[in-house]
Amino acid sequence: EGVNPQIYVGIKMQVLEFPSKAQEAIQGKLPDGAKVFLVPATLRAETMYGQVACFVSPKVTYGIYEAAPKEYFVMTERAARNMSHQEIFAEEGVIKKTAEVLGSDLIGALVNAPLSFHKDGVRVLPMESILETKGTGVVTCVPSDSPDDYATITDLAKKADYYKIKKEWAELEIYPIIQTPTSDLLAPALVKKMKIASPKDVKQLKEAKEIAYKEGFYQGHMLVGDFKGEKVADAKPKVRGQLIEAGLAFEYAE
Ligand code: A2H
């Protein structure tokens, strides 16, 4: 954690269907009518149209925290502690953990992805490179604009059996969201150009991530959504504002 706080947007991805192991972990612990959300932390709210999955670390134990009456967030303990001091939960400084669930037991859950073209929901999938010490430990997958996400989802589709997932969970269509001088699918273009073969190519991915982030922000235009045609730099706060206004996201610092 650096000196300057990073402002993240927490996206509320409501769970539509739990896999049986996660269902067992929460059985009897939540009130009737409770809504449960996976809450990825993102710096790129304007790309949410392109969500195709939601990543968790299979090795991390997540908590299920009460955020408001009948509203629960799935994330790391560290994120809950952080949010408890930022007026995100009902009571300042109070953390109400109601259950725990292993990341690997969440794989295959169906979650709603706000703004995404995949309206019927997307699947929770494993991402080995998730750090428990950053954000919420949950990452929403936007392969059009994130080289890490593209490398991971491609690998998952290729090795579906090894990862014990259904191939079709990782093979949703990737729509162009942002146009830059290089491409309308910047992340896949960079992964190809830099010959990145898998999520294990950490060094090249770091470089690709920096190029994608800068080029998207300074030279990108929106191809979709209410701010279609606008510069990414202008659209970014507007999309974020819409999501927050609709109760589908919130800001927090770390
Ligand atoms: B970003 P920074 Cl389209 N472990 O969201 C690994 N990565 C994590 C994480 C964790 N615990 N928590 C968040 N992240 C990712 C969208 C996106 C992101 C796009 C393009 C680039 C990008 C969709 N995934 O990030 O180290 C999240 O992915 C590249 C900077 O705090 C989050 O934003 O700067 C970003 O890393 C936060 O990274």
Interface predicted TM-score of the whole assembly (ipTM), two decimals: 0.99
How many domains does the chain divide into?
A: 1
Does 22 fall in a domain?
Answer: yes
Does 1 fall in a domain?
Answer: no
Which string of DSSP letters, residue by residue, matches the chain?
Answer: --SSPPEEEEE-EEEEE--HHHHHHHTTTS-TT-EEEE--EES-GGGGGG--EEEE-TTPEEEEEEEETTEEEEE-HHHHHHHTTTT-SSSTT---EEEEEEHHHHTT-EE--TT-S-TT-EEEEE-TT--TTSTTSEEEE-TTT-HHHHHHHHHHHHTHHHHTS-GGGG-------EE-SS-SSHHHHHHHHTT--STT-HHHHHHHHHHHHHHHHHH-EE-SSTTTTSBHHHHHHHHHHHHHHTTSEEEEE-
Q: 218 C-alpha vs ligand 1 centroid, how far in Å?
A: 18
What domain range includes position 97?
7-253
For each of the chain's 254 residues, which pLDDT tens digit applies?
557 889 999 999 999 999 999 999 999 999 999 999 999 999 999 999 999 999 999 999 999 999 999 999 999 999 999 999 999 999 999 999 999 999 999 999 999 999 999 999 999 999 999 999 999 999 999 999 999 999 999 999 999 999 999 999 999 999 999 999 999 999 999 999 999 999 999 999 999 999 999 999 999 999 999 999 999 999 999 999 999 999 999 999 99
Q: 48 C-alpha vs ligand 1 centroid, how far in Å?
A: 12
Does 2 fall in a domain?
Answer: no
Does 94 fall in a domain?
Answer: yes
**Nearest protein CA to atom 27 of ligand 1, as residue:** 42
Does 128 fall in a domain?
Answer: yes
Residues enclosing ligand 1, CB less than 6 A?
6, 41-44, 47, 130-131, 134-135, 137, 139-140, 142, 145-146, 149, 209, 213
Does 37 fall in a domain?
Answer: yes
CATH code of the domain in which 55 resides: 3.90.740.10
Does 89 fall in a domain?
Answer: yes
